[in-house]
Amino acid sequence: MHEYSIVQALLNQCEEHATKHRAQKIVKVVTKIGVLSGVEPDLLQTAFDTFKEGTICEEAEFVMNIQPLVIYCHDCKNESSLKELAMACPKCGSLATKVVDGEDMYLMSLEMI
């Protein structure tokens, strides 16, 4: 379950930002999670709730914004946001596509006091 190591890295980032900005605590952690990131949101939430105890994020709300798959078609030059995991262009059916977004997980913002 790699969600635990992801949360450990996320909490380390939060600690670094809080130290840099002399924050006493973090009240909100906002992430963006791509559907192709390999991260399971429910497991990530559980891991965050488990590992935040005793950290600067102990009382933090954890927000996960799920990023759909976004592809670009080289043939028709169309960019599409897809709800299903498919690589074919929904406009022309071409497989000459590349993933533009939806593969990664990012820490988007922190609310600190």
pTM, to two decimals: 0.89
Domains of the chain (ranges plus CATH)? 3-68+101-112 (3.30.2320.50)
Close Cβ partners of 106 (under 8 Å, ≥ 6 residues apart)? 31, 32
Q: Is residue 1 over pLDDT 60?
A: no
Tens-digit pLDDT profile for residues 16-61 = 999 999 999 999 999 999 999 999 999 999 999 999 999 999 999 9
Close Cβ partners of 51 (under 8 Å, ≥ 6 residues apart)? 4, 7, 8, 11
- The confidence score (pLDDT) of residue 84 equals 83
Q: Which is nearest to 11 in space by CA: 42, 49, 57, 43?
A: 57
Instruction: Tell me the backbone φ, ψ of residue 70, rounded to 5 degrees.
Output: -120, 125
